[in-house]
Structure 1
Amino acid sequence: MKEFRAAVEAGDFEGLGELLAEDVVFRSPVAFKPYEGKPIVAAILRGVGRVFTEFRYVRELADADGGGSALVFETVVDGVSVNGIDLIRTNDAGLVSELTVMVRPLSGANALATAMSAQFDQIVAEASGASS
């Protein structure tokens, strides 16, 4: 999805919320249970924007039907290099309906888990409308 990629590359994590379907499902690389719904997923993406540094997409793969894509990225979290993939599916309206993120290596996943855990209270507050 070109709009999603452009927003992330511009560091516009606030604007990503406009690209999400109301019933979007986010599968985290460090949490077992998926997160469902635009408010929590938008808040998680804003949290990601606060912990990723030196972020860049390095490759894009698209489904033949145009309903999904895989964006391969590199970033740094707390000084640890992370490689990952954003798997994106869109609905008929062109909004993100599913976002699955996978990361490697284990040290990168651990750094991401720690950094996002520190963001959790703010994410929950933002998702419930009590933005900080």
Structure 2
Amino acid sequence: MHPFRKAVEARDTAALEALLADDVVFTSPVAFKPYPGKPITAAILRHVIEVFEDFRYVREIGADGAADHALVFTARVGGKEITGCDFLHTRPDGLVDDLMVMVRPLSGAQALAEAMGARFDRIAAEAAGAEAARDA
């Protein structure tokens, strides 16, 4: 089982953040531009864990030790059932440097966009605070 999956299933946001490379790039299923950097990616993941209801991984694709993994999941957001996939790339040191999430159906993606959009000011503030603390 991939360490990212273990951390998500345990809802362990500290472990999730520890698995992210400083230069990780997060590609959202509902935003056009990717989000570069550990602070914003960690903040997004902390909030997504709260937004997803009945989240569970149903399949993991990728060999042990491979750089690329796909983690298929199901969840509910705003009463909408979704199926999604976390596509991970890990560096040789085991840190995730690329995370792309896709979800379906469109109604589920729209519910996710609405739920995360309502939190985005807080997400951005958390990320800015983490960056300031790191740079201090």
Scaled by the length of structure 1, what TM-score is found?
0.93
Unaligned runs of 5+ in 2: 131-136
Partners of 2:22 and 2:119 in 1: how far apart? Answer: 22
How far apart, in 2, do the equivalents of 1:93 and 1:64 lie?
14
Question: Aligned ranges for residues 1-132 of structure 1 at < 5 Å?
Answer: 2-62=2-62, 66-129=66-129
The AA in structure 2 aligned to 1:71 is L
The 3 A distance-change label for structure 1 pair 75 and 67 is: same
Structure 1, unmatched stretches of 5+, are none
How many pairs does the alignment contain? Answer: 130
Q: Percent identity?
A: 60
Instruction: Flag as ranges the 4+ runs of structure 1 deviating above 4 A.
Output: none
Native 8 Å contact 1:14 1:46 kept in 2: no
Q: Alignment RMSD, CA only?
A: 1.5
TM-score normalised by structure 2 residue count: 0.91
Cα drift, residue 63 of structure 1: 5.3
The 3-state SS of whatever aligns with 2:17 is: helix
Offset, 1:14: 3.6
